[in-house]
Homo-oligomer: A and B are copies of this chain.
Amino acid sequence: MATRDTGTEKLIKDTAKRVFFAEGRLHATTQDIADAAGVNRTLVNYYFRSKDTLITQVYEEGMNDLSQRLAQVMETEKPFRERIEDFIDVFMADSMEFPYQETFLITEMNTRGNLYHKENMSEKVENFSKQIQAEMDAGRLEKMDPIHFAMNMFSMMIYPLVMKPMYKQFYSMDDEQFNRMMLERKQLVCNMLFKK
């Protein structure tokens, strides 16, 4: 059937992503999403048939998006350090917009019972680990299991953004101060990773 493309379907999905990934309202109802999108709730069913379908699509697209962003750091041809620098710059900018993306994905995995992801990351991840190992062998990185390097990198980039509401309270910061903090972090995380 020839769709008329009013943009409503995309609007609903994008709004759902905003509510889940950006605002971190993981318990949002279809009504919440419809309200946030400024449309009638029935349209969620018209375009997605059920809440479950919408959530599944948001989950899969969120997962695919993450996979692609990860592939980015694991595949480029630039020198290692430069590549990490670029990656941190891009990845943190993304995470500042959607801090709860990974949290949403994990929560879904935990509630539905480990949904597996078709795309096989194993090969890419292994390759990335080898690259890290090579840097270590060349004496340009502190020696450790390469997985720790990856964990350190992602932790330091994402987690402070997830904990933003707490940091704002504990350190009495407003949004602007916090965001400045996070921009500073791009450089700082890089330093932490390459310090020897």
Residues of A within 8 A of B (CB): 23-28, 100, 102-103, 105-107, 109-111, 114, 116-117, 121-122, 125, 142, 144-145, 147-148, 151-152, 154-156, 158-160, 162-163, 165-167, 169-172, 181, 184-185, 188, 191-192, 195-196
Contacts and interface: CB of A to CB of B under 8 A. Distances in A.
A154 B159 contact: yes
A170 B23 contact: no
A172 B122 contact: yes
Contacts of A160: 151, 155
9 contacts: A24-B106, A26-B26, A28-B111, A106-B165, A114-B165, A148-B181, A155-B159, A159-B159, A195-B195
Given A151-B156, A163-B154, A184-B145, A171 B24 contact: no
A189 B178 CA distance: 24
Given A109-B166, A155-B156, 8 more contacts: A106-B166, A114-B169, A125-B170, A151-B160, A151-B167, A155-B155, A155-B158, A156-B156
Contacts of A125: 170-171
B106 A147 contact: no
B110 A25 contact: yes
Contacts of A171: 122, 125, 147
Which A-B residue pairs are the 8 nearest by beta carbons?
A155-B159, A24-B110, A155-B155, A159-B159, A151-B160, A121-B170, A109-B165, A195-B195
A36 to B, nearest CB: 13
